[in-house]
Structure 1
Amino acid sequence: MSVEVGSPVAGLAAALGEVPDPVFSQAMVGPGMAIKPSGGRADAVAPIAGTVMTLHPHAFVIASSGGTAVLVHLGIDTVKLKGEGFELHVAKGDVVEAGQRIVSWDPSEVESHGYSSICPVIALEVAPEALADVREDGQVATGDVLFTVSA
């Protein structure tokens, strides 16, 4: 079974190597992609359908019924903002559809605090070979497929 992972935000697709954090750039938590978001207030949406397993203002994990889990991290070091500028629309344990609004945030505001707004989108607990149809760098709209995870 495979799961298509959509972009949680609109912006420019980039390789994980471009993320200014070694945990992500070296794929320590798993393979995936990153999105450099378009500026301005926006919603981050669920990249897959499933259950909200982890939920912070700056990051969330959604697990599909088949067990594929995807981490979305809104910016780098944004935990230091202590939730300021982020608005949650779901709760941990909620079942969500792909494309459903999870968090509202403002990438430009994140950057104004000196943090990168790049968004790693990570397939957790899978080998890099499990990713297929990985999108090339370039413009993506919210919901566009970034990659497929083969379970």
Structure 2
Amino acid sequence: MSLRILSPVSGRTVAMSDVPDPVFAQAMVGPGIAVQPAGGRSDAVAPVDGTVVTLHPHAFVVSTADGRGVLVHLGIDTVKQKGEGFTLHVVKGESVRAGQPLVSWDPEAVTAAGFSAVVPVVALDATAEVLSGLNVDVDVAPGEDLFTWGG
């Protein structure tokens, strides 16, 4: 069954290979696409319906009913911010709906702190062949289709 992965943030899509972090750029955690956020403080929303299985101020994983996990990482090296500037709206184990706000954050503050604000959206444990619609250089809004995970 195909799964629509929604954009967690507004911005412009970027190829995963252009993310300034080798773990994401080389798809070590899985394939996907990244979004270069537009604007200041905003909410990052759930990319799919499911359960929050991993939750940090700067990153989260939502797992679908059929076990597919989608990782959203808010910026690169933002773990070094120790949660500063991030506000969680959910708890680990919570059921969420696609488009539901999960974390508030400020991409401009991330950039000001010297980090990249780019947001990788990763299909965990997937192969690149099962993803489609990975269009780069496209403007997206939170909750809009980002790519499709076949299978």
TM interval, shorter chain, is over 0.9
Contact preservation (8 Å) 1:51, 1:96: yes
2:3 matched to 1:3? Answer: yes
Look up the SS of the partner of 1:36 in the other structure. strand
Identity %: 58
Look up the SS of the partner of 2:36 in the other structure. strand
Who is 2:74 aligned against?
A: 74
Trace 1:125-144 onto structure 2 (pairs within 5 A): 125-144=125-144
Tell me which stretches of 4 or more aligned residues in structure 1 moved more than 4 Å.
Answer: none
2:33 matched to 1:38? Answer: no
Unaligned regions of 5+ residues in structure 2, if any? none
Q: Note the C-alpha offset of 1:17.
A: 1.2
Contact preservation (8 Å) 1:3, 1:68: no
Q: Distance in 2 between matches of 1:127 and 1:67?
A: 15
Q: Distance in 2 between matches of 1:133 and 1:80?
A: 32
Name the amino acid aligned to 1:38. Answer: A
2:10 matched to 1:15? Answer: no
Name the amino acid aligned to 2:141. Answer: A
Who is 2:99 aligned against?
A: 99
Please report the TM-score for the alignment, with normalisation by the length of structure 1: 0.98
Contact preservation (8 Å) 1:13, 1:35: yes
Count of aligned positions: 151
Who is 1:116 aligned against?
A: 116
Unaligned regions of 5+ residues in structure 1, if any? none
Q: Distance in 2 between matches of 1:8 and 1:76?
A: 15
Q: Note the C-alpha offset of 1:21.
A: 0.1
Look up the SS of the partner of 2:79 in the other structure. helix
Trace 1:43-58 onto structure 2 (pairs within 5 A): 43-58=43-58
Q: Distance in 1 between matches of 2:41 and 2:136?
A: 25
Distance 1:26 1:142, change over 3 A: same
Please report the TM-score for the alignment, with normalisation by the length of structure 2: 0.98
Look up the SS of the partner of 1:24 in the other structure. helix
Q: Note the C-alpha offset of 1:91.
A: 0.2
Q: Distance in 1 between matches of 2:144 and 2:27?
A: 22
Q: Note the C-alpha offset of 1:130.
A: 1.0
Two-structure CA RMSD over aligned residues (Å): 0.7
Q: Deviations over 1:70-128 (max 9, x none)?
A: 00000000000000000000000000000000000000000110000000000000111
